[in-house]
């Protein structure tokens, strides 16, 4: 990594900082670099002034936080002629890959036309022309590229202009779910329990007794559904106190249970910074003093659920959570995330994954515009969210309510919804 940072501009400034900072991306994030970006820079340096290059590259270079350096380099050094998104094209490789084709010349990059092509929803390639300035999310260096047809891009920007980013709202930035670093030690099945102790079973079938007070129900992203709190199928051994700090000492049963994993737990990267070896990490999402909205980090939609104040459910790091001031804020946010407007907007910027899935990372949700008139949004969306546990509203009702909250019309957003949701 040190050598790459010395020799390559794309590695020295890999992150898109305007997106990383609001999402609370850790300091180690800036050290990440996709090696494809290094090949891109090397190819450009080898080209003569005015010379052309054509490369197959991961499409995430144009959309991920860690691709910021590559996008900035392209904007400063090249004139892009063609971008092809092959994410949803028929399989051309044995491996699961999400390729793109970039054709460019080594020239300054004025606001010239670019040809964009996409195998959208597995269709024959669709092509359109766009000004280079209409491709990035905004005018910040290294901003993600949005490979949207012009009418869908205009709709995307209308929604963005009707609100402010979640990270800057009354709700604030999302929190990644709790990180164990050793699921075998912390994640268990509950076999039996009484008031004081419980019988648990680990992933290897081993059973033991543990203090009942240490067990909290667990949520994985893949088990989340829209609106409904996930069932208690798995539990996590919660080695922290009510304030979130690691216990000063493990109780007797827990100490015996964790003894066999002590070396593995001490070897975790996060445990090398002075934390007690039985600590969990990134525990903010598990605090129970406020209602929370949790959603999956991978799917065709965010699939959001409201977790009431006092509910001990612990989302692990295949989930994200937003801590809300009150129940109405939580129900409003859930109704927005579960509706087609937010889904279309997020799917236009979220990193792609296999089978039409998207990655709803914290930075992606941090950018989601919430309606500027939040009181109005609470009135029209919050009521839908509150009754969803009894009678889930349909997409049309959620869309109408979201448009009312943003003070937009159907025609304003129809091209974005048609493109992003097929």
* DSSP 8-state class, residue 178: B
CB 191 within 8 A of CB 200: yes
pLDDT in tens, the chain (422 residues): 888 888 999 988 778 988 887 776 654 445 567 899 999 999 999 999 999 999 999 999 999 988 999 999 999 999 999 999 988 887 777 777 789 999 999 987 778 899 999 987 767 789 999 999 999 999 999 999 999 999 999 999 999 999 999 999 999 999 999 999 999 999 999 999 888 999 999 999 999 999 999 999 999 999 898 998 887 789 999 999 988 899 999 999 999 999 999 999 998 877 766 679 999 999 999 999 999 999 999 999 999 999 999 999 999 999 999 999 999 999 999 999 999 999 999 999 999 887 778 999 999 999 999 999 999 999 999 999 999 978 999 999 999 999 999 999 999 999 999 998 87
What are the two backbone dihedrals, phi and then psi, of residue 290, each rounded to the nearest 5 degrees? -140, 160
Task: Give the Å distances, CA to CA, from 236 to 183, 188, 244, 317.
Answer: 9, 6, 15, 13
Q: How many whole angstroms separate alpha carbon 61 and alpha carbon 90?
A: 20
Structure tokens at 318: 């295949």
Output the pTM of the full model.
Answer: 0.91
Task: Give the Å distances, CA to CA, from 331 to 216, 227, 303, 378.
Answer: 23, 9, 13, 8
3-state secondary structure of 1: coil
Distance of CA 52 to the CA centre of its chain: 35
Q: List the one residue out of 63, 16, 70 whose CA is nearest residue 38.
A: 70
Q: List the one residue out of 129, 150, 162, 118 whose CA is nearest residue 415.
A: 150
| Chain segment 183-206, per-residue pLDDT in tens | 999 999 999 988 899 999 999 999
160 membership: H or E segment, kind and range: helix 150-161
Tell me the pairing of strands 215-219 and 235-237: antiparallel
Q: How many whole angstroms separate alpha carbon 211 and alpha carbon 214?
A: 6
Sheet-wide strand order for 215-219:
207-211, 197-201, 187-193, 235-237, 215-219, 314-315
Q: List the one residue out of 132, 125, 165 whose CA is nearest residue 150.
A: 132
Place of tokens 């009894």: 390
E strands, 202-313, where?
A: 207-211, 215-219, 235-237, 292-296, 298-299, 305-307
Q: How many whole angstroms separate alpha carbon 393 and alpha carbon 381?
A: 11
CB 65 within 8 A of CB 20: yes
Treating both helix axes as pointing N-terminal to C-terminal, what angle do 68-77 and 35-46 enclose, rounded to 10 degrees?
A: 10
Distance of CA 306 to the CA centre of its chain: 18
């Amino acid at each position: 990594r040190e050598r790459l940072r010395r020799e390559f501009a794309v590695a020295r400034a890999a992150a898109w900082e305007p997106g990383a900072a609001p999402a609370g991306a850790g300091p180690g994030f800036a050290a990440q670099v996709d090696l494809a970006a290094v090949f891109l820079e090397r190819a450009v340096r080898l080209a003569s002034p005015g010379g052309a290059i054509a490369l197959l590259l991961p499409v995430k270079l144009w959309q991920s936080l860690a691709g910021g350096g590559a996008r900035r380099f392209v904007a400063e050094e090249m004139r892009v002629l063609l971008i092809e998104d092959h994410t949803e094209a028929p399989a051309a490789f044995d491996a699961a890959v999400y390729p793109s084709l970039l054709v460019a010349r080594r020239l300054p990059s004025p606001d010239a036309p670019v040809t964009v092509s996409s195998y959208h929803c597995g269709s024959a390639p669709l092509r359109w022309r766009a000004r280079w300035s209409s491709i990035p999310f905004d005018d910040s260096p290294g901003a993600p590229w949005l490979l949207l047809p012009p009418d869908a891009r205009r709709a995307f920007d209308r929604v963005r202009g009707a609100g402010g980013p979640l990270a800057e709202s009354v709700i604030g930035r999302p929190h990644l779910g709790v990180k164990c670093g050793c699921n075998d030690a912390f994640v268990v099945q509950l076999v039996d329990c009484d008031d004081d102790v419980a019988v648990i079973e680990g992933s290897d079938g081993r059973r033991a007794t543990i203090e009942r007070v240490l067990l909290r129900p667990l949520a994985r992203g893949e088990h989340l559904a829209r609106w409904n709190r996930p069932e208690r199928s798995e539990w996590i051994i919660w080695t922290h106190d009510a304030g979130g700090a690691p216990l000063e000492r493990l109780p007797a049963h827990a100490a015996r249970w964790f003894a066999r994993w002590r070396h593995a737990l001490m070897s975790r990267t996060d445990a090398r910074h002075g934390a007690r070896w039985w600590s969990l990490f990134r525990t903010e999402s598990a605090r129970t003093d406020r209602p929370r909205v949790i959603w999956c980090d991978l799917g065709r939609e965010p699939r959001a659920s409201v977790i009431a104040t006092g509910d001990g459910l612990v989302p692990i790091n295949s989930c994200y959570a937003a801590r809300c001031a009150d129940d109405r804020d939580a129900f409003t946010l859930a109704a927005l995330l579960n509706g087609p407007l937010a889904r279309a907007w997020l799917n236009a910027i979220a990193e792609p994954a296999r089978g039409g899935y998207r990655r709803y990372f914290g930075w992606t949700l941090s950018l989601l515009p919430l309606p500027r008139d939040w009181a109005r949004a609470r009135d029209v969306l919050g009521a839908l969210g509150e009754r969803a546990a009894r009678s889930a509203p349909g997409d049309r009702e959620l869309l109408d309510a979201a448009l009312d909250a943003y003070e937009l019309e159907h025609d304003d957003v129809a091209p974005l919804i048609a493109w992003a949701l097929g």
